[in-house]
A and B are shown apart, each in its own frame.
Chain A
Amino acid sequence: MIEVSKVTKKFGDFVALDALDMRVPKGAIYGLVGPNGAGKSTIIRHLSGVYKQDEGQVLIDGQPVYENDAIKRRYAVIPDDIFYFTQANTIDMMKFYKSMYPNFDEALFKKIMDCFPAIDPKKMVRSLSKGMQKQVAFMLSIASRPELMILDEPVDGLDPVMRRQIWSLIMSDVAENGLTVLVSSHNLRELEDVCDHVGIMNNGKILIERSLDELQTSITKIQIAFEGEMPPIPQEIKVLKKITNGRVHTLIVKGEPREAEQKIAQMKPLLMDVLPLTLEEIFIYELGGENYAVKDIIF
């Protein structure tokens, strides 16, 4: 769905995007994670058709995005700072979106509105709270029946109940209509429950880009204890990190978890536990060696 190849963007002498590559498959919920200043909003503005890249290609469904309103009609963008016309209320904005997006579903809009009873549709949107403005943005975007939603820090400012409600709306659209979602956040924990693909950005580059399945099957945390000294670990087991605490050793092992478990079992440990890793831990151990800054990205 989204294909970003070797995209470079400079603001004066500052390189905001540095030959960035990114792939978002159709139907995926892609989480784009990175610290402030990593370039997340910059690449999202390229995908929104706001910025024009200095080099490289930004394609959606194989078509360049910039100045391509035919493509833009097929996706919706919710930026971190949302724009509404002065004096416009929710109904006015609905009419505007309806005229802009050919697939806009007014019935769906009204249905979603029922989920947000706190919003007065006749009240000026700019006078609503930040959270409510976000909710209006979601209502408008989902009702536009997009094939792709690009969300920049989407649930920032929303309370936990509202976050859950928003995500459930999106997830149901993904399930029912095969919606593709690109969502940026500076917090991996936020995305862990909803994303099936994750890309980590720093200094204008995607450091790593994986599907959740790949990640979960590529790295394992195994805790083991031996009576005496720990025997040498077989060479075919790739240990990313080893932490020893008394007789208990924690190994972060790269590779197929079941295979690693079997090989370690042959070492006859007194105790062996295979523990799940959070996304944060996976990324830390995956990237920790080659780029220590990844810790700053995730925590």
Chain B
Amino acid sequence: MQSKTSFFNMTLFKKNISRTWIAGLVYFIILILSLPVTFIISNANAADDYMADMGYTMEMRLYQHMSVVPTASFAMVMSIIVTAITFWYLFSKRDNYMMHSFPVNRASLFFTGILSSMVVTLLPVLVTAILMTGVAVGMGTASVSCIWYWTIIVVVSTILFTSIAMFSLMTTGQMVTAILFYFTFNFLYLLMELAFRLTASALMFGMGQALTGITFKIWSPIMFIPVNTSVTSDIQTDDYGSKVIGFTHSFDGAQYLLIYFIAALVIIAISFMMYKKKKLETVQDFISVPWLKPVFSVGMSFFISMVAGASAASMLEVFKPFSFNVRYIVAIIFITVIGIVIFYATQMMIEKTLRVFSVKTLSKCLGYTVAALVVILGLRLDVFKIEDKVPAEKNIEWAAISGEYTMVFQDQKNIKQVRELHKNFLEDKKELRDVATLFPEDGTSTLDIKYKLKNGDVIVRSYDVINTEAKDATATYVAATQPILDFVNKPEIIKEHVIGNTWNTGFIKEMTFSTYIYDDNVKDFVYDSNEFVNLTDKEKREKYERVYKALLKDVDEGKVFVQKFGYDEDDASISDNQLYNDFYFTIRDEKNIYISDLDLYWGEQFVQTMYEQDISVALTRDCKNVLKALKDEEFYDDDDKLVTYGEYNKIMGYNEDESYASY
């Protein structure tokens, strides 16, 4: 008669606890120090500290405190420590054989082990939460729900990480490897994405910025949980940051916690099945699950060779720029060779012998190599539509073009326009992707096109571009790139996106124009600017306003903030025309928040609320209107005080190679 399956064994439970309680105690001490002790110390003088003067309540202090206490990181470390100690017997032949010869079935060993691990990892959290609640209530906080939301996050994270730890322990017969696998599984998606992005940035057209568009996905819980599930508190203060005027808080990411909880149960179920089927003779094996062996071997070979091969091909370009096709061929050679080496190395690790050179392994290696080459070829032919990807209009939150200036478009009309320009740009990739080899005489600059999607994803493409007016620029090249310049150089686009959204609603708070006169005594240019100290604020603003209007006129005439592609340090039209004089102003609108295209582009908008912005203007001698206004308004009095970069460099004796001022 087969015995009934038992899922719990009290003797084993006690035995497990007796070996892991010390880790739980250390964890408890850390939690106690991080939560109640820190809270008590930092709020010991809550009645008369500076926060009290600002109007902070104890509830605000508690929410702020709980929003910064780590969640997933604690859980991640504790889970592997306790689970590894509990299931230590799986990694020693003697312990493994003896434990499994006792009258305890694997279900009992598995679930008793998990339960005891979770008791040791969760009990400190729950006790700390109770103590923290007591402390918070004792210090006068009415609402303590943030403590329990934090607890839920840690509990779910712990269950999730314990399940991942269990899975890792089941995959191998070596403890060190199990711990390595645990961390690898936690970062697996991120690592795979990084490998793809690194490869893409080296080999694919427009993917130079591939690494900057990375966002943490739900598949990488250790990165995702702290960012997306937390107690969030926002304390609003007045303009001077001296008085609290509002307090909001939220408990973010409950839906993710539910997903992670379900995922943990699934992973535990899978781990249990693996344990049931685990062959105990695989103790000390690098990988003890048969199906994982080819996955490991192929995965390691593929990702390592892709990154290493693509990077090696890119590095060789230090000596001579490759055309797109040559770079691919070089990369394929590297990827193939490195892939084969890694494949055999992983076979040696798996088989625990150097004697892996058999016909069977060779055929596996050939199979892998062909598959890897197919993928590389797929990238080359863009079968995954990565290079040609232009997201659907309805999915775009904003679209941006970043060249000399960064412009972010949130309105449908301009988003549509950016998409059209991008699609037009991609129509003839052949010439565009090889600008470095096709136009070696022309300096390149970078044109970035970026989309922020409504689902939070970011797509960024980066292209090398040359001056559309260059002698050797072909008609095809100009046809692809000039429309983008025509778009970004439109006066209304410049006003809205270079000066900013408050260009016609704000007032000019400050304005500075510097002049430079060469002084023989000091052998340098001497700086000067008119501060208008005798004028009232009103008079100054009127003066600034007149100059600003002249600047807008120059914008309308296409004389300022005009972008070009490419970079040519010998371009006389710039060095002889662009002024070394600084001109900048501050525009302020107290009713409308200033939307910074640059902050929006880098995801920093609304980190702090801004009502004003400093604008720096690169003037040229062609900016007749603003130069006249500056002179009329007495910012300078003599045209001799206008100095171009060319003049400055010449007088200072800087040549092209050692140009300090340049432009």
Q: Measuring CB to CB, which residues of chain A are less than 8 angstroms from any residue of chain B?
A: 11, 45, 48-52, 63-64, 67-73, 77, 79, 81-83, 85-87, 96, 99-101
Q: Is the CB of A100 within 8 A of B102?
A: yes
Which residues does chain B contribute within 8 Å of A51, judged by CB atoms?
279-281
Determine which of B2, B6, B97 lies in contact with A45 in the assembled complex, contact meaning CB atoms within 8 Å. Answer: B97
A42 to chain B: closest residue by CB? B281
A50-B3 contact in complex given A72-B103, A100-B103, C-beta closer than 8 Å: no
Contacting A at CB under 8 A, from B78-133, are 89, 93-106, 108
Q: How many A-B residue pairs have CB under 8 A?
A: 74
Closest beta carbon of chain B to A262's beta carbon, Å: 51
Whether B11 sits at the interface, judged by CB under 8 Å, is yes
Closest beta carbon of chain A to B154's beta carbon, Å: 29
The SS class assigned to the B binding surface is: helix
Which residues does chain B contribute within 8 Å of A100, judged by CB atoms?
11, 102-104
Q: Is the CB of A83 within 8 A of B99?
A: yes
Whether B454 sits at the interface, judged by CB under 8 Å, is no
A-contact bits for B1-23, CB 8 A (1 contact / 0 none)? 11100100011000100110000
Interface hub of A49, A68, A69 (most chain B Cβ within 10 A)? A69
Which residues does chain A contribute within 8 Å of B10, judged by CB atoms?
99
Closest 3 CB pairs of A and B: A83-B98, A70-B3, A72-B103
> Once the chains are docked, how many angstroms separate the CA of A73 from the CA of B102?
8
A69-B19 contact in complex given A96-B11, A101-B103, C-beta closer than 8 Å: no
Closest beta carbon of chain A to B584's beta carbon, Å: 71
Determine which of A45, A68, A99 lies in contact with B3 in the assembled complex, contact meaning CB atoms within 8 Å. Answer: A68
A79-B103 contact in complex given A63-B2, A85-B15, A96-B15, C-beta closer than 8 Å: no
Which residues does chain B contribute within 8 Å of A86, judged by CB atoms?
19
> Once the chains are docked, how many angstroms separate the CA of A68 from the CA of B104?
8
Which residues does chain B contribute within 8 Å of A82, judged by CB atoms?
94, 98
> Once the chains are docked, how many angstroms separate the CA of A68 from the CA of B103?
8
> Once the chains are docked, how many angstroms separate the CA of A101 from the CA of B18?
21
Q: Is the CB of A79 within 8 A of B6?
A: no
A72-B102 contact in complex given A79-B94, A100-B11, C-beta closer than 8 Å: yes
Q: Measuring CB to CB, which residues of chain B are less than 8 angstroms from any residue of chain A?
A: 1-3, 6, 10-11, 15, 18-19, 89, 93-106, 108, 279-281
Determine which of A70, A73, A79, A96 lies in contact with B97 in the assembled complex, contact meaning CB atoms within 8 Å. Answer: A79
A sample of 22 inter-chain contacts (CB < 8 A) reads: A45-B280, A48-B97, A49-B101, A50-B280, A51-B279, A51-B280, A68-B3, A70-B3, A70-B103, A71-B3, A71-B103, A72-B103, A77-B98, A81-B94, A82-B94, A83-B94, A83-B95, A83-B97, A83-B99, A86-B19, A100-B103, A101-B103
Closest beta carbon of chain A to B423's beta carbon, Å: 56
Q: Is the CB of B97 within 8 A of A50?
A: yes
Which residues does chain B contribute within 8 Å of A45, judged by CB atoms?
97, 101, 280
Q: Is the CB of B6 within 8 A of A72?
A: no
> Once the chains are docked, how many angstroms separate the CA of A17 from the CA of B7?
32
Interface hub of B98, B99, B279 (most chain A Cβ within 10 A)? B98
> Once the chains are docked, how many angstroms separate the CA of A77 from the CA of B99?
11
A99 to chain B: closest residue by CB? B11
Q: Is the CB of B1 within 8 A of A70?
A: yes
> Once the chains are docked, how many angstroms separate the CA of A96 from the CA of B15?
9
Which residues does chain B contribute within 8 Å of A73, judged by CB atoms?
103
Closest beta carbon of chain A to B100's beta carbon, Å: 5
> Once the chains are docked, how many angstroms separate the CA of A71 from the CA of B1?
8
Q: Is the CB of B101 within 8 A of A77?
A: yes
Which residues does chain A contribute within 8 Å of B1, judged by CB atoms?
63, 70
A70-B19 contact in complex given A45-B97, A82-B98, C-beta closer than 8 Å: no
> Once the chains are docked, how many angstroms separate the CA of A70 from the CA of B105?
10
Which residues does chain B contribute within 8 Å of A71, judged by CB atoms?
3, 103
A62 to chain B: closest residue by CB? B1
Which residues does chain A contribute within 8 Å of B97, judged by CB atoms?
45, 48, 50, 79, 81, 83
Which residues does chain A contribute within 8 Å of B281, judged by CB atoms?
11, 51
Which residues does chain B contribute within 8 Å of A87, judged by CB atoms?
18-19
Which residues does chain A contribute within 8 Å of B99, judged by CB atoms?
83
> Once the chains are docked, how many angstroms separate the CA of A48 from the CA of B104?
12
Closest beta carbon of chain B to A163's beta carbon, Å: 22
Closest beta carbon of chain B to A169's beta carbon, Å: 21
